[in-house]
Amino acid sequence: MSAPTPETAAPAATTGTFAAPVESDSARASLEALRSEIAKAVVGQDSAVTGMVVALLCRGHVLLEGVPGVAKTLLVRALAASLELDTKRVQFTPDLMPSDVTGSLVYDARTAEFSFQPGPVFTNLLLADEINRTPPKTQSSLLEAMEERQVTIDGTPRPLPDPFLVAATQNPVEYEGTYPLPEAQLDRFLLKLTVPLPSREDEINVLTRHADRFNPRDLKAAGIRAVAGPADLEAARAAVARTSVSPEIAAYVVDICRATRESPSLTLGASPRGATALLSTARAWAWLTGRDYVIPDDVKALALPTLRHRIQLRPEAEMEGVTADSVITAVLAHVAVPR
């Protein structure tokens, strides 16, 4: 895979638990095949695909930000199909209740007992569409699922499938009637990926495909097949865990995060959890690019998508046109790179 842009980072996927062992190189090749497979349905979003793979490798969650119509939903569906993962979609609305996401106890008159009816969160890849359009109470229903990989109903914890990833979308331009995600919930997302508008050439390609009867609701007809499975993801995660990190690289990550806390443009810098997340995503990217050790370029490649949602701008800085990305870019330019 080519290096991710500041707009990427993400997962790898699979299902099941009884596959034969897979070598690290074979797992890497399978995950690299995702881009060409997903490209059969989604045009020009390689960075977002890479980000999703990184998130799956790190057992993290992803916040996708982009205007309507840039194939965010199609991207998630194509990723799930390419990895043979179960996926469900929830449209977040102002009247959505927590039980609509997690499930609830239902009384069965025939047995005179309550039985648990699982909600859509019981899946491998949950697409939380327009998550900022639902009230905080429903938003918070995802916190336990994202952090603990379980939901608790009537005092009983119920584990979620593995792998489990939440891909939440939000519109960056239309804020009327929305409920901004609190910092505590934003911090639960490993990465925030921006899904840009396509280039002119890519947009022509999209229209040409639709003219040739491409149906985004029928991925099988588009030729998408599973190119990776449970054993590939298991081997990949094990290999990422073996990727070495030198003391100098660990110090570099810490220095970057500490520099955000000292930036005059910010009221909130990256926390130690943000530093841990950056080290985790850098290790995953190092392994995807064929190395068993992390170099400074790996940290730089994943700094924007890992940290942009973990910092908070001062109002006066926003008025001057400062952005989270520009602050992080400036920090990367000033923090000394280990040799």
* 22-74 pLDDT, tens digit each: 688 888 999 888 888 988 888 888 889 899 999 999 999 999 998 888 889 89
The tokens describing 157, both together, are 């914890």
pLDDT reported for residue 21: 57
pLDDT reported for residue 175: 60
pLDDT reported for residue 271: 93
List CB contacts of 299: < 8 A, sequence separation 6 or more: 249, 252, 253, 256, 278, 279, 282
The number of beta carbons lying within 10 Å of the beta carbon of residue 45 is 27
pLDDT reported for residue 20: 45
* 271-316 pLDDT, tens digit each: 999 999 999 999 999 999 999 999 999 999 999 999 999 999 999 9
CB 41 within 8 A of CB 74: yes
Query: Which residues in the chain land under pLDDT 70?
Result: 1-22, 173-177
pLDDT reported for residue 16: 39
Which residues are registered as beta bridge partners of 336? none
State the sign of the Cα–Cα–Cα–Cα dihedral 201, 203, 226, 76: positive
CB 235 within 8 A of CB 21: yes
pLDDT reported for residue 229: 82
- Alpha-carbon torsion, ordered 43, 46, 50, 55, to 10 deg: -50
pLDDT reported for residue 18: 36
User: Smallest Cα–Cα separation from 75: which of 120, 44, 29?
Assistant: 44
